[in-house]
Amino acid sequence: MNFYAVRVIYKYEMKRAFETIGQTFASPVLSTVLYFVVFGSAMGSHMETVTDVPYGLFIVPGLIMLTILTQSVSNASFGIFFPRFTGQIYEVLSAPISSAEIVMGYVGAAATKSFLIALIILLTAGFFVELRIAHPFWMLGFLLLTCLSFSLLGFIIGLWARDFEKLQIIPLLVITPLVFLGGSFYSIDMLPPAWQTVSLFNPVVYLISGFRWSFFELSDVSVGISLLMIGLFLLVCLGIVWWMIKTGYRLKQ
C-alpha cells in the first residue's frame, strides 16, 4: 500500500477545502443554525417535548445527519468529478498508484470534511441547548460510518455524472427528501400506523434513529438493526466502487 500517494491526494483535497472555507464549513453550519432557530423556536413553541426530550434538543441529531449526508455526497462527488471534468484525473491514473489508493484519498478527504462539519455543528448546538450525549463513543462511531458510507455514495455519483446538472440530481431529488422524511425533525412514532410502516422503507430512518439513540437512548427502530443497515449500505457502496474501478467505468474513457 502506497500511503504516500494516499496522503498526497488527501492533503490536496483538504487544502482545497480550507481554501474555500466559507463554502466548505461556514455555509453548512450557517444553514444548520437557521434550521435550528426556525424549527427550534417556531415548532418548539408548539411542541415542547418529544418522547420526554425538549424539542430543541431532540432535533440536534437530525440536523447533524441532514448536513453530513448531503455534505458527504457533495464533497465526494465534486472531488472526483472535477478532475474528470478538467482532465486532471489522467495525471492521477498515470501515476504508479492503485485504484484502491485513489479511492482512499478522495473518499477519506470527503469523509473528514463531513466529520469536521458535524463536530462544528455539535459545538454550535451547545450554544442553543444543553447537550447531553448518553453514548459518546457510539455517537462518534455512527458519525464515522455515515460519513464514510455517503462519501462512497458521492464518489459513485461523481463517476456516474456526465455534467454538473446530473451531479446535483440525486442529492437534491433523492437524498434531501429522504432525510426530511426520515425523522430528522420528528419521531416516526408520531405518525399514523400506515405511515409508520411506509417510513420503515426509508433507509435514512435507520441512520437517524441509531444516531439519536446515542444521544438520548431513544430510537424508532432497534439499534442493532440500525447498525446492520448502515453496515449493509457501506458494503453495497464498496462493491459498486470496486466494480467501477475494476472496469474503469467513466474513469479511463
pLDDT value at position 153?
94
Place of cell 482545497: 16
Distance CA 250, CA 253 (A): 5
pLDDT value at position 40?
63
Place of cell 470527503: 110
Tens of pLDDT along the chain (253 residues)? 777 788 888 888 888 777 777 666 777 778 777 777 777 666 655 666 676 788 878 888 888 898 889 889 988 998 888 888 887 778 777 778 888 888 899 999 999 999 998 988 888 888 777 888 889 999 999 999 999 999 999 999 998 988 888 888 888 888 888 888 888 888 888 888 888 888 888 888 999 999 999 998 888 888 889 999 999 999 999 999 988 887 877 766 5
pLDDT value at position 191?
84
SS3 of residue 217 by DSSP: coil
Which sequence spans correspond to the domains of the chain? Answer: 3-247
Cβ(182)–Cβ(199) below 8 Å? yes
